[in-house]
Amino acid sequence: MARKKVAIVGGTGYTGVELLRLLKGHPDVELSVITSRAEAGRPVSDLFPNLRGRVDLCFSEPDVALLKRCDLVFYATPNGTAMKQVPELIAAGTRVIDLAADFRIKDVALWEKWYGMPHSCPALVKSAVYGLPEVNRQAVKTAQLVANPGCYVTAATLGFLPLLEQGLVSTENLIADCKSGVSGAGRGASVDMLMGEVGESFKAYGVPGHRHLPEILQNLSSASRQKIGLTFVPHLVPMVRGIHATLYARITGVADYQKLYEERYQHEPFVDVLPPGSHPETRSVRGSNECRVAIHRPQDGDTLVVLSVIDNLVKGAAGQAVQNMNLMLGLDERAGLDSLALLP
């Protein structure tokens, strides 16, 4: 089988280099183009020395004619970029995965409220498939445009999903208490992200409202088929990679919750339900596409606590995008994603 040609638009951020790392280890694809207006002409390995000897491409100016020749194009660009360029690629029959938020939220007016800009192609929002394989695997396989989920969203959705699908918890007062490493803020220079600012410290942010909130609510409402009441509080912790989501739900139905999770995810290649009493660590998924989940019922009370951990750059971004690519191109879903987590 001929190798599939893929391109990355906007490959200079942390998500871009993670895509490069994963795609260069993929047996069935050929990385043909990587674009960056700011770095055009510069060898990729100059910017990312870990790719020296592995990636011999140079960054190039975006060229739609070249992108159209690819089987699939990844957009690892800021919010608001893909929606301006994707329609031409879709019209040409090229398949697209957007790693930003342009096509995630189906309510366009709600998206415009949270992202502070008008949407330039609302018609494509309706046809875009939300790329959480554990929910939309069959739809992803035939999609031309996939909206790759947010990182906090992935950890929270996979943690809550089995309970809401079975109607076993109250939907009125769910709590998602989530912590992320600093790479989640991107690669741009920012005083708030300096080591002298984040080291030896820990803080909440975005408490009045975070852009991932409407996306989480959309997923959970779809799973439960009713309106959701959710308190979502993100935190910044002084580590580079990882998300830890501590999720709280009040029990309204009786079940073997451990068995429920094990059966829901038994055929999912990248969701690992840990044994009873486990406490998953972010380091156990660092560099991998795994989501590890554990379920607790403290003091046999009426509150379930679900612990969900992912690497925000892999299952929370680039790894999930490669997983979606595999499904879209008819490849083995695990291809290019079998690397073990990095320890220590």
Share of the chain above pLDDT 70, in %: 100
Question: Under a CB-based contact definition with an 8 Å cutoff, are residues 259 and 124 in contact?
Answer: no
Chain position carrying tokens 């679900």: 306
Predicted confidence at residue 60, as pLDDT, reads 95
| pLDDT digit string, tens, across residues 287-320 | 999 999 999 999 999 999 999 999 999 999 999 9
206: pLDDT strictly greater than 70? yes
Task: Report the CATH superfamily, name and number, of domain 4-127.
Answer: NAD(P)-binding Rossmann-like Domain (3.40.50.720)
Alpha carbons 44 and 55: distance in angstroms, whole number? 7
Boundaries of CATH 3.40.50.720 in the chain?
4-127
| pLDDT digit string, tens, across residues 81-104 | 999 999 999 999 999 999 999 999
Annotated active-site residue in 70, 121, 151, 178: 151
Surface-to-core class of residue 2, CB atoms within 10 Å of its CB (0-12 exposed, 13-18 middle, 19+ buried): exposed
The average pLDDT across 55-77 equals 94
Chain position carrying tokens 């690669």: 187
Surface-to-core class of residue 78, CB atoms within 10 Å of its CB (0-12 exposed, 13-18 middle, 19+ buried): middle
Q: How far is CA 208 from CA 205, 213, 327, 338, in A?
A: 8, 10, 37, 38
The per-residue b/e assignment along 18-32, b for 16 or more CB within 10 angstroms, e otherwise, is bbbbbbeebebbebb
Predicted confidence at residue 198, as pLDDT, reads 84
The overall average pLDDT reported for the chain is 95
Half-sphere exposure of 12 (CA within 13 A, CB side): 19
The average pLDDT across 167-196 equals 88
191: pLDDT strictly greater than 90? no
pLDDT bin (cut points 50, 70, 90) of residue 223 is very high
Question: Under a CB-based contact definition with an 8 Å cutoff, are residues 143 and 222 in contact?
Answer: no
Predicted confidence at residue 196, as pLDDT, reads 82
73: pLDDT strictly greater than 90? yes
The residue among 223, 219, 300 whose CA lies nearest residue 254 is 300
> ∠ CA 219-176-250 to the nearest 5 degrees?
90
DSSP element (H, E) containing 295: strand 291-296
Whether 291 is a known active-site residue: answer no
pTM for the model stands at 0.96
The per-residue b/e assignment along 288-313, b for 16 or more CB within 10 angstroms, e otherwise, is bbbbbbbbbeeeeeeebbbbbbbbbb
pLDDT bin (cut points 50, 70, 90) of residue 189 is low
- Give residue 60's identity as a one-letter amino acid code: S
Boundaries of CATH 3.30.360.10 in the chain?
152-312
- Bridge-partner residues for 11, per DSSP? none
Question: What class, spelled out in words, does domain 152-312 have in CATH?
Answer: alpha beta
The average pLDDT across 50-77 equals 94
143: pLDDT strictly greater than 70? yes
Alpha carbons 335 and 145: distance in angstroms, whole number? 20
Question: Under a CB-based contact definition with an 8 Å cutoff, are residues 74 and 81 in contact?
Answer: no
113: pLDDT strictly greater than 90? yes
Q: Is the peptide bond before 344 cis (omega within 30 degrees of 0)?
A: yes
Half-sphere exposure of 307 (CA within 13 A, CB side): 15
